């Protein structure tokens, strides 16, 4: 790539959009993660507990899809949550090679405590938006995601 091509690429109108998207995501993650850690959980642990809450459990594969945590990382997180007595694994009916992960009664109690607290924490910031602004953001995020969706 020539220096002229690099200069032209650096001047593309999409770059400020990409930068602001990344900055917005990073700001959201910092705000969210800081509060999750005050609950005594890592963000991935919270993600697993929040995903399993109000369910009868789900397969590791489904849990990975819903949390977007990679399989290797997810196994370690579930191991740690299991050692804390917050989740348990059972063999899936009809497939002895698959496990279902579910919250234990202690995990369910923790979910009932931390999930509403976290939503309330996020709500403080989201309340700054009007309903029209919230809907406009939602539409913009959906449109943005669609730009990159697989055909």
Nearest partner of 91 among 83, 77, 101, judged by Cα: 101
**Which pTM does this prediction carry?**
0.84
pLDDT at 56 over 70: yes
Residue 1: the pLDDT is 59
Can you give the residue range of the structural domain that contains 57? 43-148
User: Is 104 contained in some domain?
Assistant: yes
pLDDT tens across 8-19, in order?
777 778 889 999
Mean pLDDT value across residues 47-66: 94
Give me the CATH number covering residue 99: 1.10.10.10
Mean pLDDT value across residues 8-36: 91
User: Is 23 contained in some domain?
Assistant: no
pLDDT tens across 72-126, in order?
899 999 999 999 999 999 987 877 778 899 999 999 999 999 999 999 999 999 9
User: Is 107 contained in some domain?
Assistant: yes
User: Is 47 contained in some domain?
Assistant: yes
Match 């849990």 to its residue by tokens.
Answer: 63
How many domains are contained in the chain? 1
User: Is 140 contained in some domain?
Assistant: yes
Q: For residue 119, count other CB atoms closer than 10 A to its CB.
A: 11
Mean pLDDT value across residues 141-151: 91
Q: What angle do CA 17, 144, 60 make, to 5 degrees?
A: 120
Mean pLDDT value across residues 123-139: 97
User: Is 63 contained in some domain?
Assistant: yes
* 3-state SS, residue 27: helix
Q: What angle do CA 32, 38, 40 make, to 5 degrees?
A: 110
User: Is 3 contained in some domain?
Assistant: no
Q: What is the mean pLDDT of the chain?
A: 92
Mean pLDDT value across residues 49-76: 92
User: Is 32 contained in some domain?
Assistant: no
Provide, for the chain, the percentages of residues in helix, strand and coil under a 3-state DSSP scheme, each rounded to the nearest 5.
70, 10, 20
* 3-state SS, residue 41: coil
């Amino acid at each position: 790539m020539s220096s002229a091509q690099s200069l032209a690429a650096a001047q593309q109108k999409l770059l400020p959009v990409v930068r602001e998207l990344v900055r917005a995501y990073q700001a959201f993650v910092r705000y969210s993660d800081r509060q999750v850690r005050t609950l005594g959980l890592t963000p991935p642990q919270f993600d697993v507990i929040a995903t399993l809450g109000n369910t009868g459990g789900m397969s590791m594969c489904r849990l990975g899809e819903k949390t977007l945590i990679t399989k290797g990382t997810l196994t370690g997180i579930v191991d740690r949550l299991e050692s804390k007595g917050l989740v348990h694994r059972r063999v899936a009916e009809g497939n002895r090679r698959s496990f279902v992960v579910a919250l234990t009664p202690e995990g369910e109690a923790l979910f009932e405590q931390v999930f509403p607290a976290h939503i309330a924490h996020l709500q403080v910031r989201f309340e700054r938006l009007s309903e029209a602004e919230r809907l406009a953001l939602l539409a913009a995020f959906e449109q943005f995601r669609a730009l990159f969706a697989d055909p």
